[in-house]
Chains A and B, each alone.
Chain A
Amino acid sequence: MKNIFSILKYLRKLVLIPVILLILVISSCEDIIELQPYNNVSETIAFSTPSLIALSVTGMYEAAQIGYYRNPVDPAYRGYPFGAAFVEQGDCRGEDVVNMQAFYQYTYEGTYNLTTANNRVYWEDTYRLINRANIIIEGVTQAVADGIISDAQGNIYLGEARFFRAISHLELLFHFASPYKHTAGASHMGVPYREKAYTTNAAIEEGMSQHRNTVADCYSKILADLDFAEANLPVKSARSGNEKITRATKGAAIAYKTRVYQHMWDWAKVISEAGKFFAFSGNDAYTIEPDPNTPFANNYSNRESVFSIENSATNYPSVNGALAQMYKRRLLVCMSPIIWRNAGWLTDDKRRNSASGQLILNVSGRIHTNKYKDDVTSTDAAPVIRYAEVLLNLAEAYCRNAPPAGAPDANALNYLNMVRNRSLADMATQGYGAADFDDNVELLGAILLERRIEFAMEGRRWPDIHRLQFCPYYPINGIPQKLANTSVPASAFTLGSPYTGPYGVAAIPYSDYRFLWPIPQTELDINPTLVEEQNPGW
């Protein structure tokens, strides 16, 4: 009997076994290992609805605006390539600015190498943008085929993507490849022109076998992309608000083509492309704003800016990249006495105006730019291309097309004046007339100088140095000498005579390998094709 009770007592405990089993069953729900992310969207649906596609297209602009500098896990937004970096690097590679602190020292003094950050990230983030563009091209093409979005909408998106693909490759050519005229027929090495989206492991191997396209090849692909963009992008009146300037338009594609042909020394094409601007009318027209400050004071609502990258108070290239931070608030880069004291820049030119809110910031006699004004919330746009450039490109084209020793070309003079006159204190006495120039070479000199003045601190100096290596009249040999950052007293900015030194940063001749940036080590490490195609000397 006692034993039976014991057994019963034990059975009570055995009841626990089903309970235990129950716990096991309840908890063995597989859900906890079938997880999907909350922060990200799967690639499988990224192009599945019109609204997701629209987001991806905007995401391409993000790649243009802020870049990653380090990487997405630990990003440091610094505005690569078009949100700020093209301005800063483009300026600091030239002689018309002085790097005041250590910030741009590698770029400024030409001490960069295969691993220094600025040149490396320029390569990396620009190609990141190119891949985003190619992803749009493939995704949108498929979405149109699948009927998710209309042909018309699809073509606008494709136009935007091909616009970015073109201008990104052009930017890479400026820094990583020799100028167009380096060899006859531009048969020298350009950069790999990427036209395929890399989103799968399978595509990677194929991408690694691609060589550097020749410069000629790159330019023809750039033009093909821009032609497509021109044909399919809307005119600016089809866009609203800031997007007239900060999303790609037909005008932006045409303006870029004048720049591209200029670098190809194809002046007839510059003339024909720029001419298209005169066909824009009404709300689509571009115009030189009467006040040179307007494109900057109203950088999202003027009629001169053709294409700019937008920055906002919550989304900008950070205090370590934003233009107003670098050039204004933190005073890291100032204008160089070399250009400031250039005799061709009239002392009463409005672009020297340092009154509050105007273009110049005079800090105890040192001259900084005030083109980027919002140094608290950094919302200034990065001016990628302005109508003023289209006109100066046009002026230069007419001038170079005319007989060098001939009388100043009337068109060239006219388009130069369209840009220059608005800045003169007294247009009547100071404006250029035909009598002011002996010949077209002299006029060309005025046009080239005007570019340095008008686009001061807009990053345009490096592309000009790059192409002018082969100028028959005003050749630049390599990178001109500059002022060292450690010694720019305020007195160096006193007007009255051209700056003659001291310099401190020696010129780098064109033959020196430092004229070009090296393909970064990160690329060489893993890309066997490009290992063999490094820029010579590196």
Chain B
Amino acid sequence: MKRFLLFISLLLITASLVMAQTVQISGTVTGSEDGLAMPGVNVTVKGTTIGAITDADGKYTIIVPANAQSLLFSFVGFVTAEVPIEGKTRIDLVLQQDLFRVDEIVVVGYGTQKKREVTGSISAVKGDDLRSLAAGNFAASLAGRSTGVQITQQTGVLGEEARFRIRGVGSISSGTYPLIVLDGVPIATGDMGGQAAANSLGSINPSDIESMEILKDGSATAIYGSLAANGVILITTRRGSAGKMKVNYNSYYGVAQPIRLFDLLKADDFVMISNEKYTNRGYAPVAFNDGAAFPGQTFDTDWQMAVLRKNAFQMDHNLSLSGGTDINTYYFSLGYSSMEGVTRPNEMERFSVRANLEQKVRKWLTVGTNIGVSRTKYLGLNTGANSLSGNIFSAIRQLPNTPVYNPDHPTGYNIDDIVYPDPIGTGNPDWVGRWNNVASIGENIPNIRYVIDHNKFTSDVYRILGNAFAQVNILKTLNFKTQLGIDHTLTEGLYYYNPLHGDGRAANGRIYNDSDKTAIWNLQNILTYNQTFLNDHNVTLTLVNEFQFQRYNGFNAAGTDLSNVFFSKNVISGTYGTQISGGSMTERGWISYAGRFNYNFRGKYYLQGSLRYDGLSSLADKWGLFPGASVGWTVTQEPFMSSVTDILSDLKIRASYAKVGNSNIGNYPYLGLYGSAKYANYNGLGFSQLGNAELQWETSTKYDIGFDALFLEGKYKLTFDYFLNDQDGLILDAPLPPSLGIPRNVVSRNIGSMKNWGYEISGEAFIIRNNDLTWSVDANITFQKNEVTSLYQDKDMTYDWYINRVGESYNSIFGWEYAGVNAANGNTLYYKADGSIIQGNIANSAWRTYDPEDPANVSNPASAMVTADKRIIGPSIPTYFGGLNTKAQYKGLDLLVSTRFSGGNYIFNRTRVDLLGLNFTNNGAEILGRWQSPEEPGDGWTPKLWSGGTNFINQPEQGSTRWIEKGNFFKFSTVALGYTFPKEWMRKINVDNLRVYVQGQDMLMITKYTGIDPEMEITGRDFNGTPKQRVITFGINLSL
């Protein structure tokens, strides 16, 4: 103690504590819920390290300096209480349960803070909430859990990335993915390479996650400077704590199925519709299911089930050991996960090991490591929305009156190259067999099941995520930490195209192996100074110096013209005719200096300022300065509020401002470059990128004002935030006229700006809390808007179905106004920009005027429907979203229901266009509403059928109100029912805790959207995505 005081007086000017006299205080601490004595409560003199701990009866005795002002009582899960001493020698206390964990420590950038002291906007999610959710990517399980954060898994393919949107969309051309920091180390995000979707987060075992903090506003993210524009997610893995070893085993088994299927035509309707397509155009019927060609053989095949799995099996096992002593702690875990996706042959398998160790070497020195090693294997497939072998593209087109298999064909599959008894004779081995039809399938589609069974796409991801650190307590108040982190990923990819049928036939088979390496290192030096002056002034100063370096490199070897189907597992020397190889390497580096200053006065007034100076290799002008500041005021600490604290127990008002940057801008965007340009076999170089040395940082200025309020002894909580993110100097891939011939027809320029703003409201309530029954409800909702405020020359950036226009929402959905079907002739009707209606004359694919008085007249040419006739239909980004969750516990039973909703956005349902294709392919049931004659005009929306007329009649690539729908939905995302066996029983078999549960994910969706799922939209378009999964799991949680 003397030593401590000596150094305080030596090194700091504030020699405030002089132990002249002492006083002894004692008392008893009880809990608010049950009124029972609480052992183990920490009692400290505020502003000192003088402390005591309550005994088994909740009693304590403490000797305090005479000038001590107050005592602090703290216990995990309870609200820390501060009691003024005011000369008392006995202080008894009832500790309130901290239902909302306001006194919990949360992880912030380069450190931790008490939740109560945070002045920024942070959403925290506990690892326990994610552990039991079956998903290929745990990020998706964050959906609906916090305000301002929308995370969407867009397809049911295991390994595909989820889309993150933290308070809107942060950029137009550059990256919009948040920074992910694992145990203090920024990690690689995105797809990790290989030939099957392999998202970065998939190699992290969700069971190892202790907590995730989503930093949303400027103040919380400012310390990450140029990395923070899209928000930051901090992931902390579990560690051990002193005490006996804890053994946890968690496991689940699940069955997944597609959330919905398409309503495709059955064989008979298919025959009718197909022949109507042909006869309308004056041709003979081609579709038959009469068994004429193959006597007695008629079929009604749902080809979706040739591609999708009804019972995809999924399981997950995790074993962890943790514990420690006063000087060391450990956490070891083993994880194994094996999942089948809802689409064949999609699979994911993960093995993971984690070791988090911490050792106190000296009183002043702690060293530790957090190391996770994983191997994740993915078996993927071709999901190309416009690929002949794309799973959904193909499945919805296959002819329902044909079989999947043909035992008479050498392959065993129904393939078209057998001799047919119809006039066309022998077919083409590129195509699926036509069977009783007298035409081959349109669009030269292969037998998708053959392709799925024979082609291979794999990624095998080996990853080490680790750090080693040393922490030195130079002084009690001054701490230095140095940490070296790495994220090394090696991904091996393979694809193999079978030479007999499908994509591989064109080149007589193709095999491709690649090796992709991501190497990231990160060195951080953090100096933290933490001191309380004069009892009331709490100061924390954090200084950071950080270096980061990323290198991506890879190479590949491939061959076509394969010698034999046998050589399909790896590139094997000498087994293919044409040899192909390639590779590339890019790098990026940062140097950063940052500081953060936190100050609070009596936990009442808070002030935080931070400054980061970043140097980034991707810019010519490398250095940028990113400031941030925030203030907070706990109003309820004010004396004048004392009268209302019975109702309003705690109210904190916060406001923040920061300017952060987006360094997700590519590696060399400013350079004028020449890249390889090989002509046949002659090496060449070609202009590949127009440089712009003036390129600057893309910045986001973030404002936030909000409050956190607790009511009625902390049983109800309300949080509100208003946010505004002003994205400025957006590095836009500024479009250039293609007739200048500049590569990609773009140049990177800082010319766009955009803002995102909105309100976030969340509430939590503990409605019932007694020994037998607890019931809590929480809800959150976010209203957000986006507006593009400037573009290159403020010119529209138009695309087929979306547009960026100044004054409108980013990527607004954009299209023609469809006016339905001309009842006189079945032609399509559209509004021109001038309000007139024209018709698309099906017979000659030409635009004609439309006169309602004389609707059958198609003799007057009209000018074409062009981009100028399109109007903005609405935003592609939801304008509101949220979730409503409830948890109840009755004795051993627990029930969780969580829901989420979203809406206000529009979707171009491109899959619906494909389902109404007019080639000789199957259709969705909507086509039954087609116009047949003036007497049978159908649904007024679906035009006349016309074989081969897809492009003109459906205008497939063009946004139009015929296809654009609202994206509103409400989903029950999780329903879980668990039972925890009584402790008394378990104790007899030496088990601490045993819980079993059954859980359903994505069980029910309410929406008017006609596609599979409005969440399957990408850039506002839903196009032949793989249906998402609905999963039912059975699991156990066991601890010893």
Contact = CB atoms under 8 A, between A and B. Distances in A.
Contact of A43 (B442, B587, B673): B673
A35 B443 contact: no
Interface in B268-295: 278, 281-284
Contacts of B743: 72, 128
5 contacts: A61-B684, A105-B951, A363-B428, A484-B283, A487-B283
A364 B423 CA distance: 9
A514 B861 CA distance: 12
Contacts of A489: 423-424
B605 interface: no
Contacts of A440: none
Interface string B650-662: 0000000000000
A522 B523 contact: no
Nearest to B792: A526
Interface of B: 2-3, 6-7, 278, 281-284, 364, 423-428, 430, 439, 442-444, 472, 474, 480, 482, 503, 505-508, 523, 525, 545, 547-549, 560-561, 577-580, 584-591, 615-617, 622, 667-668, 671-692, 735-745, 747, 792-793, 795-798, 800, 843-846, 861, 863-867, 919-920, 947-948, 950-952, 957-958
B677 A522 contact: no
Interface in A41-63: 41-44, 46, 52, 55-63
B580 A314 contact: yes
A232 interface: no
Contact of A60 (B506, B579, B686): B686
Contacts of B525: 20, 23-24, 27
Nearest to B558: A314
A42 B430 CA distance: 45
Given A14-B474, A41-B674, A201-B692, A537 B864 contact: yes
A194 B443 CA distance: 38
A249 interface: no
A506 interface: yes
A218 to B, nearest CB: 13
Contacts of A408: none
Given A134-B741, A242-B680, 13 more contacts: A20-B525, A35-B588, A52-B685, A58-B682, A113-B866, A115-B957, A128-B741, A198-B742, A199-B687, A204-B747, A316-B680, A365-B425, A514-B846
Most chain B beta-carbon contacts within 10 A, residue among A6, A40, A204: A40
Contacts of A72: 675, 688, 743-744
A538 B864 contact: yes
A111 B951 contact: yes
B617 A377 contact: no
Interface stretch (A327-335, A338-346, A454-462): A327-335
Contacts of B742: 131, 198-199, 204
Classify chain A's interface size. 35 or more
A123 B948 contact: no
Nearest to B549: A32
A430 interface: no
A532 interface: no
Contact of A490 (B424, B547, B549, B792): B424
B684 A102 contact: no
A257 to B, nearest CB: 24
Given A33-B615, A39-B585, A330 B506 contact: yes
Contacts of A32: 547-549, 589-591, 617
A16 B549 CA distance: 26
B591 A33 contact: yes
Contacts of A146: none
A102 B919 contact: yes
A124 B148 CA distance: 40
B738 A123 contact: yes
Contacts of B616: 33
A39 B740 contact: no
Interface string A306-333: 0000111111100100000100011110
Interface string A95-117: 00000011101100111011110
Nearest to A504: B281
A315 B739 contact: no
Interface in A148-204: 191-192, 194, 198-201, 203-204
B686 A63 contact: yes
A523 B739 contact: yes
Most chain A beta-carbon contacts within 10 A, residue among B480, B587, B686: B686
A429 to B, nearest CB: 35
Contact of A520 (B2, B3, B738): B738
Contacts of A28: 545, 547, 591
What 7 A-B pairs come out closest when comparing CB atoms? Answer: A131-B741, A32-B589, A58-B684, A43-B672, A59-B677, A59-B686, A59-B684
A69 to B, nearest CB: 12
Contacts of B687: 43, 46, 59, 131-132, 135, 199
A24 B525 CA distance: 8
Nearest to B919: A102
Nearest to A491: B423
Contacts of A436: none
A524 interface: yes
Interface string A334-377: 00000000000000000000000000000111000000000111
A530 interface: yes
Nearest to A139: B687
Nearest to A117: B957
B588 A521 contact: no
B674 A208 contact: no
Contacts of A375: 506
B863 A537 contact: yes
Contacts of B671: 37, 40, 42-43
A38 B281 contact: no
A61 B679 contact: yes
A419 interface: no
Interface in A1-18: 2-3, 6-7, 9-10, 13-14, 16-17
Contacts of B590: 32-33
B623 to A, nearest CB: 9
Contacts of B577: 313, 376-377
B278 to A, nearest CB: 7
A372 to B, nearest CB: 13
Given A35-B617, A198-B742, A109 B523 contact: no
A525 B680 contact: no
Interface string A412-428: 00000000000000000
A488 to B, nearest CB: 9
Contact of A62 (B284, B678, B867): B678
Contact of A194 (B622, B686, B741, B948): B741
Given A39-B675, A364-B426, A487-B283, A24 B545 contact: yes
Contacts of A131: 687, 740-742
Given A28-B545, A314-B681, A17 B584 contact: no
A376 B442 CA distance: 23
A522 B745 contact: yes
B580 to A, nearest CB: 5
A475 B2 CA distance: 110
A524 B547 contact: no
A347 B795 CA distance: 59
Contact of A315 (B587, B622, B680): B680
Contact of B744 (A71, A319, A365, A530): A71
Most chain B beta-carbon contacts within 10 A, residue among A16, A110, A192, A522: A522
A201 B690 contact: yes
Given A16-B480, A39-B675, A537-B863, A127 B591 contact: no
A312 B523 contact: no
A110 B847 CA distance: 12
Contacts of B677: 58-59, 62-63
A450 B672 CA distance: 49
B747 A201 contact: yes
Given A37-B667, A55-B685, A329 B482 contact: no
Contact of B7 (A10, A40, A102, A331): A10
